[in-house]
Structure 1
Amino acid sequence: MTSLHGAASSLPASSAQAGSAAPAPVLHNSVLERVGIEIAQGIRPTGSVITLARLEEETGVSRTVLREMMRILESMGMIESRRRVGITVLPVSAWNVLDPRIIRWRLMGSERVAQLSRLTEMRLALEPTAARLAATRATPEVANELLDLARTLRTLGEKGEGNQQPYLEADIAFHALLLAASGNDMLTSLHGIVTEVLAGRTDLGLSPADPAPVSFDNHEGVARAILDREPEKAEQFARAVVMEVWKELGEI
């Protein structure tokens, strides 16, 4: 099993990457974010038409770049371009709602708590299974790395830094490694979704500075069960980790 040490810094849509990119891609991404957010939040409702001429006038971005941006949004299922009709915003049912960008854009809207709840329900279906598989497939090295990350979460959380970036990075790394440790490439591919959920909670101020101690116990429990080759315990502890989040969301 390949170690994912340092996964936190490589998984989210990186602002560092944006900062090192050439001006054109940065501008491209800026407009893509703007239009994507407007669609995701209903500012551009289903059935509304996007006019490239007007968008070009508003943003100062060339028609060529805008067309490329529209192709990206079309690949995400958010819009449809048809001759004589133009570019039309599609309903949510057509979107690739598991695209991390769409997840992030929806988490920035007024329905953020409902979106987090749906995503947490999905995590509840996936992560316990990943933990169970990891307990039969992960190497001792990976299991120990999970345990190290869980201990880092406890150390930072007990210092009241549960809503700070270092804690978020360790949390993302833990859950990304858990999915990878399952040995199932389909589960591993979902790391971007979990990343956006965890980052979204922090960005929205929904992550407590002082996480409940039981959260640390459960994270360590997952890692120890994987290390000890105990699939049922690993599954139970992973379920408890996600249930704690679900409980917090229900109290908002």
Structure 2
Amino acid sequence: MSSSLHSRLVDAVGKPIVSGATPAGTVMLAEDIEREQGVSRSVVREAVRVLASMGLVESIKRVGIRVRPQSAWNAFDPTLIRWRIAGTGKGSQLRSLTELRASVEPMAAELAAKHCPAAMSDELMRVAAQMRTVGRAGDLEHFLELDIEFHRLVLHGSGNEMFAKLDEVIAAVLSGRTDLGLMPTHPHETALQWHVDVADAIQGGHPDLARQSMELIMRRTIAEVESAWTDTPRVFFA
């Protein structure tokens, strides 16, 4: 099976569900998808399996493939997050993820200052220093790679396996923020210093300072991206 063909079909069926073009309750037939997309039944089955794992669809015997409501979606799936950020749901998605980060990452930094292995904290310090150099140069593509690695190391350094599992989720929102042009061409000097401060506090075993410095980063992040969700209504699931 061609992985590109499979990915194309997942996108072709999944994106309209996430955008609302294919609304909840819609029933699709495998043979229709096969004919419309020009793919084999095995490719359809595998794509449906992936979409079902996201909570987007469910296969019902003798009925078809039914689209599920948003309340059933796996909100932490990185692919689903990327689709929402790139589509009409970007405001709501960015707000939810930014609020999640603001809640989790300061605690992760505090825990990392208590528990992070020396080799990991050394790497975090190296990445933070490199972020400052690359940020000053205005190389946003390389800066994004380093930023993702920085936050991944903090999450993993906490020693909390549930925090660590958020690394791909946070990578998705960092990438989306850059793709949407919500990152300054040259990251603020103070924000670059705060990343160094977080790394230094973790390396030096100062939990309170690590948490405080990460909270400053999160406040700056909210200030830079909140324009993306102005007037976007919140979603409440009964």
> Which range is displaced more, 59-68 or 191-200?
59-68
Report matched runs for 1:75-94 at 5 Å.
75-94=53-72
Is 2:195 aligned against 1:213?
A: no
Question: What is the CA–CA distance in structure 2 between the aligned matches of 1:216 and 1:175, rounded to whole Å?
Answer: 13
1:176–1:191 contact (8 Å) kept in structure 2: yes
Amino acid at match of 1:201: R
Moved over 3 A (4+): none
Measure the CA separation in 1 of the matches of 2:174 and 2:75.
Answer: 17
Pairing 1:189-204 to 2, within 5 Å after superposition? 189-204=165-180
Contact kept in structure 1, 2:129 and 2:196, CA below 8 Å = yes
| Residue-by-residue CA offset, 1:198-233 (whole Å, 9 max, x unaligned) | 111112222211111111111111001111111011
Paired with 2:62 and 2:165, the residues of 1 have a C-alpha distance of 38
CA drift at 1:251: 3.6
Once the two structures are TM-superposed, the CA of residue 53 in structure 1 deviates from its matched residue by: 2.1
Aligned-residue Cα RMSD (Å) equals 1.3
Match runs of 1:1-252 below 5 Å: 24-161=2-139, 164-252=140-228
**What is the distance in 1 between the residues matched to 2:226 and 2:178?**
17
Q: Could you list the runs of 5+ residues in structure 2 that have no partner in the other structure? A: 229-238
Instruction: State TM-score, norm by structure 1.
Output: 0.86
Q: Deviations over 1:160-202 (max 9, x none)?
A: 22xx221110001101011111111111111110110111111
What is the rounded CA distance, in whole Å, between the counterparts of 1:234 and 1:201 in structure 2? 24
What secondary structure sits across from 1:80 in the alignment?
A: strand
**Quick one: which amino acid aligns to residue 30 of structure 1?**
R
Query: In 1, are the aligned partners of 2:183 and 2:224 still within 8 Å (CA)?
Result: no
The higher-RCO structure (CA 8 Å, 6+ apart) is 1
Q: State how far apart, in whole Å, the 1-side matches of 2:227 and 2:5 are.
A: 39
Preserved contact between residue 28 and residue 65 of structure 1 (Cα < 8 Å): yes
d(CA) in 2 for partners of 1:53, 1:207? 44
* SS state at 1:96 partner: coil
SS, match of residue 87 in structure 1 = strand
Q: Which runs of 5+ in 1 are unaligned?
A: 1-22
Q: Secondary structure at the match of 1:81?
A: strand
TM-score normalised by L of structure 2: 0.91
> How far apart, in 2, do the equivalents of 1:242 and 1:36 lie?
31
